[in-house]
């Protein structure tokens, strides 16, 4: 016999964009960070308010029942800081981190280290991925 889920069982996925904060590093350009958050119905309103208060923008809300775990492997991937520099022309990955928050806490330090080593025109992103190579030069 099929039963409808109760309100306590309903979960929603919030897809969130975090806009870059102004940086004190000259030449540092940041792009948006994206992440998803699974929230029970009872906390949905509070979490939406918290995301907005913290400067995030919610781009989609959908019931988690619509997601097929086989189609969404990103959720189990670690978080990495990706930094591209124009000079020298390199792509760096720093990580892995267990959460977006942990990666965000470290990104300024890695960018500052590269800047102090002479790197110019840094573009920083935080991604959920598994990079095959941690440093790549062109």
Q: pTM above the 0.75 mark?
A: no
Contact 27, 115 (CB under 8 A): yes
Residue 63 backbone dihedrals phi, psi, to 5 degrees: -65, 135
Q: What is the pLDDT of residue 132?
A: 82
Q: What is the pLDDT of residue 110?
A: 92
Q: How far is CA 137 from CA 57, 69, 105, 119, 134, in A?
A: 34, 35, 26, 13, 10
Residue 22 tokens, joined: 């102004």
Contact 122, 85 (CB under 8 A): yes
* HEC sequence for 58-117: EEEEEEHHHCCHHHCHHHHCCEEEEEEEEECCEEEEEEEECCHHHHHHHHHHHHHHHHHC
Q: What is the pLDDT of residue 92?
A: 93
With H, G, I as helix, E, B as strand and everything else as coil, classify residue 49. helix
Nearest to 86 by CA among 135, 46, 27: 27
Taking only the tens of pLDDT, the chain with its 138 residues reads: 444 455 556 788 887 877 666 555 555 555 666 777 888 888 888 888 888 888 888 877 878 765 544 444 455 788 999 999 998 999 999 999 988 889 989 999 999 999 899 998 888 988 888 888 888 887
- Name residue 97's beta-bridge partners: 79
Radius of gyration of the chain (CA): 18
């Amino acid at each position: 016999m099929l039963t409808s889920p109760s309100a306590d069982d309903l979960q929603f996925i919030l897809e969130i964009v975090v806009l870059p904060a102004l940086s004190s590093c000259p030449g540092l350009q940041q792009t948006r960070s994206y992440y998803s958050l699974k929230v029970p119905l009872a906390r949905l309103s509070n979490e939406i308010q918290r995301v907005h208060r913290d400067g995030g923008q919610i781009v989609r809300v959908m019931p988690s029942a619509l997601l097929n775990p086989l189609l969404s492997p990103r959720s189990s991937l670690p978080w990495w800081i990706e930094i591209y520099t124009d000079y020298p022309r390199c792509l760096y990955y720093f990580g892995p981190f267990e959460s977006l928050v942990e990666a965000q806490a470290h990104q300024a330090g890695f960018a500052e280290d590269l800047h102090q080593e002479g790197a110019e025109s840094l573009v920083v992103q935080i991604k959920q991925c598994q990079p095959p190579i941690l440093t790549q030069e062109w």
